[in-house]
């Protein structure tokens, strides 16, 4: 699984050679999927500002994505998020307080929730809140560059990064976490294995740290692509196509012609099903006839005689025997002697 970095900062005023240098250095470190991130805060402009990817010198081993991160400080400014989503490959939200975090985890449509750990969080991270986002398929992002870069970092930023990342790992139980750099230049990037070591120091473990750079980040990219190319993440629209082709079937006024001698009549799907039903009916009728020809039916194990006592009866009795009393097929010697004595008494 290739390594991902879904947050490399892009600003319109940043020179193009500096962005090309950052992309080249990321490719040399081993990353294969990079997302250029544009951050917006405050009142959102009506048209989404584009990211000119075509003007960049992209290495052949890199896959470039576009991303928009919206800082949610007021719940009333989220009415344009649906218009921004199709213009970018990834849409991320960055809440600033606990109320906006609950709103992002519960109802707002996005692909990623990014928390700013360069500053101390003013609200606690609760398992009930973050679990609602995990159930919706959202991931949480941890950006390490503000706390580990040599330029612009402070002891407070490093302390806040360690405390915030540890709190997020504890709240999410280590699930649904993505590591990104948020690097403004090549100096803010770190190798994938260095990031995995940082994850182990924060209490996540090396295996989960690698998943945060590979599997979890890849799930964010694929799920975002499915949302933009399908209808409600259920039906994938491939081609509009034309109307259904109507197949003409013969009516009663136009009966089918019998096949010519030496030719076989092609069977339709309905004909095949009908033929199968006929064969099943014939097999059932044949089975019933065989049962009738045997002439025996199952009886109960016991029968009640006139004096109220129970005696054993034969397992099978002839079915087609006329008359009232049905005699067993064969009598024992004792029964024959008893009947002979009874017949002799009646005659005398």
In this predicted model, what pLDDT tens digit does every residue of 56-113 receive, in sequence order?
999 999 999 999 999 988 777 666 777 788 889 999 999 988 888 998 998 888 899 9
- Check if the beta carbon of residue 113 is closer than 8 Å to that of residue 95: yes
Name the more confident of 220 and 151.
220
Q: Residue range 172-200: average pLDDT?
A: 92
C-alpha distances out from residue 192 to 196, 199, 290, Å: 6, 11, 77
Q: Residue range 227-254: average pLDDT?
A: 58
Closest-CA residue to 19 (of 44, 49, 51): 51
Mean pLDDT of the chain: 78
Q: What is residue 87's predicted lDDT score, i.e. its pLDDT? A: 87
Q: Is the pLDDT of residue 168 over 90?
A: yes
When pLDDT is cut at 50, 70 and 90, the band that residue 119 belongs to is confident
Q: What is residue 236's predicted lDDT score, i.e. its pLDDT? A: 56
Q: Is the pLDDT of residue 41 over 80?
A: yes
Q: What is residue 306's predicted lDDT score, i.e. its pLDDT? A: 43
In this predicted model, what pLDDT tens digit does every residue of 320-348 receive, in sequence order?
444 445 555 588 888 889 999 899 888 87
* Most trustworthy range by pLDDT among 120-124, 212-216, 267-271: 212-216
Which of 252-256, 259-263, 301-305 is predicted least confidently? 301-305
Q: Is 232 left (phi over 0), alpha (psi -120 to 50) or beta?
A: left
C-alpha distances out from residue 156 to 28, 108, 146, 170, 205, Å: 31, 31, 11, 21, 24
Q: Is the pLDDT of residue 318 over 50?
A: no
What is the rounded distance in angstroms from the CA atom of residue 19 to the CA atom of residue 64? 12
Q: What is residue 90's predicted lDDT score, i.e. its pLDDT? A: 93
**What is the fold, at CATH topology level, of the domain defined by 3-230?**
TIM Barrel (3.20.20)
In this predicted model, what pLDDT tens digit does every residue of 268-281 receive, in sequence order?
444 444 455 556 66
C-alpha distances out from residue 85 to 5, 305, 346, Å: 20, 88, 108
State phi, psi for 314 to the nearest 5 degrees: -70, 155
Name the more confident of 36 and 306.
36
Q: Is the pLDDT of residue 314 over 80?
A: no
Q: What is residue 321's predicted lDDT score, i.e. its pLDDT? A: 46
Q: Is the pLDDT of residue 309 over 60?
A: no
- Check if the beta carbon of residue 192 is closer than 8 Å to that of residue 29: yes
Strand partners, 179: 142
Q: What is residue 259's predicted lDDT score, i.e. its pLDDT? A: 55
- Check if the beta carbon of residue 141 is closer than 8 Å to that of residue 114: yes
What is the rounded distance in angstroms from the CA atom of residue 2 to the CA atom of residue 36? 17
Q: What is the pTM of this model?
A: 0.65
When pLDDT is cut at 50, 70 and 90, the band that residue 282 belongs to is low
β strands within 166-213, DSSP E: 177-180
When pLDDT is cut at 50, 70 and 90, the band that residue 300 belongs to is very low
Tokens of 246: 């109507």
Closest-CA residue to 64 (of 46, 75, 52): 52
Share of the chain above pLDDT 90, in %: 35
State phi, psi for 242 to the nearest 5 degrees: -105, -165
Name the more confident of 157 and 59.
59
Q: What is residue 261's predicted lDDT score, i.e. its pLDDT? A: 57
């Amino acid at each position: 699984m290739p390594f991902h970095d879904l947050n490399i900062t892009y600003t319109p005023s940043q020179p193009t050679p500096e962005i090309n240098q950052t992309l080249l250095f990321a490719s040399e470190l081993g990353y294969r999927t990079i997302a250029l991130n544009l951050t917006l805060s405050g009142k959102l402009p009506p048209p989404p500002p584009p990211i000119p990817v075509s003007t960049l010198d992209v290495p052949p081993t890199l896959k470039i994505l576009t991303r928009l991160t919206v800082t949610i400080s007021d719940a009333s400014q989220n009415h344009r998020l649906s218009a921004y989503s199709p213009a970018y490959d990834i849409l991320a939200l960055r809440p600033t307080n606990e109320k906006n975090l609950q709103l992002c985890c519960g109802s707002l449509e996005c692909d990623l929730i990014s928390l700013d750990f360069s500053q101390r969080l003013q609200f606690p991270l609760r398992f009930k809140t973050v679990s609602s986002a995990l159930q919706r398929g959202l991931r949480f992002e941890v950006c390490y560059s503000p706390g580990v870069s040599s330029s612009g970092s402070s002891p407070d930023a490093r302390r806040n990064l360690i405390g915030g990342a540890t709190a997020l790992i504890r709240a999410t139980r280590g699930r649904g976490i993505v590591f990104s750099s948020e690097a403004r230049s090549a100096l803010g990037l770190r190798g994938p294995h260095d990031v995995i070591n940082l994850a182990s120091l924060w209490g996540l473990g090396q295996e989960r740290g690698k998943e945060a750079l590979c599997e979890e980040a890849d799930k964010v990219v694929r799920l975002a692509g499915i949302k933009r190319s399908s209808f409600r993440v259920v039906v994938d629209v491939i081609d509009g196509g034309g109307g259904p082709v109507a197949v003409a079937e013969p009516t009663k006024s136009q009966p089918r012609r019998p096949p010519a001698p030496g030719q076989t009549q092609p069977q339709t799907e309905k004909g095949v099903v009908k033929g199968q039903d006929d064969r099943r009916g014939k097999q059932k009728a044949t089975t019933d006839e065989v049962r009738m020809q045997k002439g025996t039916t199952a009886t109960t194990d016991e029968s009640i005689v006139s004096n109220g006592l129970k005696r054993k009866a034969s397992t099978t009795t002839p079915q087609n025997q006329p008359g009232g009393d049905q005699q067993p097929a064969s009598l024992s010697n004792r029964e024959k002697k008893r009947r002979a004595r009874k017949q002799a008494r009646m005659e005398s």
